[in-house]
Structure 1
């Protein structure tokens, strides 16, 4: 039973980060698009493993960054230069992971023939292009507003 509670608490932490951190929503959306578009590429299990590890590193770094920010905000009632340095270093760790994740993505996805295949897929299927455009709009709304912002907006519309 304690094992299930530990998973519950872990998922609650992830959900908190998604709800409250725009950058975590950016990472989540980017990961979703990476995995969807990976279907167009010839990838080995090793390539998929590299992508999974890169995504996991970025998201874990963002979770740790959020932990650092929350603890710093809780411990310092006013501006503290040490708190600023700690927050900057935590953000820097996310940046390092994100830059190297992009490098992994370039190494794995640099397949010009696949880019042509993606282009031809969407130009030959206008409904799929429309679906992509709609998914991009939904993703942008999700990133900017977050799940709680979207929920609150829907509730306000229902009340009107």
Structure 2
């Protein structure tokens, strides 16, 4: 029973981070898009493992950044120079991780022939292009508004005056 409770608490922490941190939503959307487009590439199991580890590291860095921000705000609700430094360092760790993940992506995906294949796929399949555009629009709404903002939008009764 403890294990189930610990999973519940862990998922609650992840959901909190997604609901409250726009950058976490950016990371989740980026990971999803990279994974979907990775299907155009012939990646080995080892390369997929590297890709998933990279996703995990960036998202873990964002969670730890959120932890640092929440604890800092709790300890010093008003401005404090040390809190600013802690928050800046936590954000810097996410930036470092995200920057190196871009490097991993370049190493894994720099195959111009496949880029041309992807271009042709969407050029030859207008329905897929429309789906990509719609998915991108939905992803932007998710990133900007977040799950709670989307939920609140649909819960409101829209009355035309």
Q: C-alpha deviations, 1:30-51, integer Å up to 9, x for none? A: 0000110000001011111111
Give the unaligned 5+ runs of structure 1: none
1:131 is matched with 131
| In structure 1, distance between residues paired with 2:71 and 2:19 | 18
1:149 is matched with 149
1:5-154 equivalence runs, <5 A: 5-154=5-154
Pairwise CA distance, 1:69: 0.2
| In structure 2, distance between residues paired with 1:88 and 1:78 | 16
Pairwise CA distance, 1:104: 0.2
| In structure 1, distance between residues paired with 2:138 and 2:144 | 10
| In structure 1, distance between residues paired with 2:59 and 2:77 | 28
Taking structure 2 as the reference length, the TM-score comes to 0.97
| In structure 2, distance between residues paired with 1:116 and 1:133 | 18
Pairwise CA distance, 1:159: 5.3
Q: In structure 2, the residue corresponding to 1:40 is in which secondary structure?
A: coil
| In structure 1, distance between residues paired with 2:158 and 2:41 | 46
Taking structure 1 as the reference length, the TM-score comes to 0.97
Q: In structure 2, the residue corresponding to 1:137 is in which secondary structure?
A: helix
RMSD: 0.8
Q: C-alpha deviations, 1:36-72, integer Å up to 9, x for none? A: 0000001011111111111100000000000000000
Give the unaligned 5+ runs of structure 2: none
The structure in which a higher percent of residues are helix is 1
| In structure 2, distance between residues paired with 1:95 and 1:20 | 18
